[in-house]
């Protein structure tokens, strides 16, 4: 339940914004951009410098949500 409330404060999806792609709340920055930066070896600071409308708190919360999702999937397969 807490994760769901956190997700609503961090990630938003609306057909009128970026065709429904999940974005950080209050921005037009797709959440996948954060993962693309990290996958490429870039730092969180570089991502935040490139997308100043995303707060550090939002980015960290998105990473926490992803971690929780991975843990849930892993737990389901035990």
Q: Rounded to 5 degrees, what angle do the CA atoms 53, 70, 58 make?
A: 15
What residues does 52 pair with on adjacent strands? Answer: none
Tokens 């843990």: give the residue: 71
Tens place of pLDDT per residue across the chain (78 aa): 456 656 778 999 999 999 999 999 999 999 999 999 999 999 999 999 999 999 999 999 999 999 988 888 888 877
The domain limits of the chain are: 2-76
27 in Cβ contact with 51 (< 8 Å): yes
Strands 23-24 and 11-12 turn out to be antiparallel
The correct CATH number of 2-76 out of 1.10.287.70, 1.20.1420.20, 1.20.140.10, 1.10.10.10 is 1.10.10.10
| pTM of full prediction above 0.75 | yes
């Amino acid at each position: 339940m807490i994760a769901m409330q956190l997700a609503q404060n961090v990630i938003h999806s609306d057909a009128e914004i970026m065709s429904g792609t999940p974005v950080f709340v209050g921005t037009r920055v797709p959440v996948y951009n954060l993962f693309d930066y990290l996958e490429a070896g870039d730092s969180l600071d570089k991502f935040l410098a490139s997308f100043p409308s995303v707060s550090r708190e939002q980015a960290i919360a998105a990473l926490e949500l992803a971690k929780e999702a991975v843990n849930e999937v892993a737990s389901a397969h035990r």
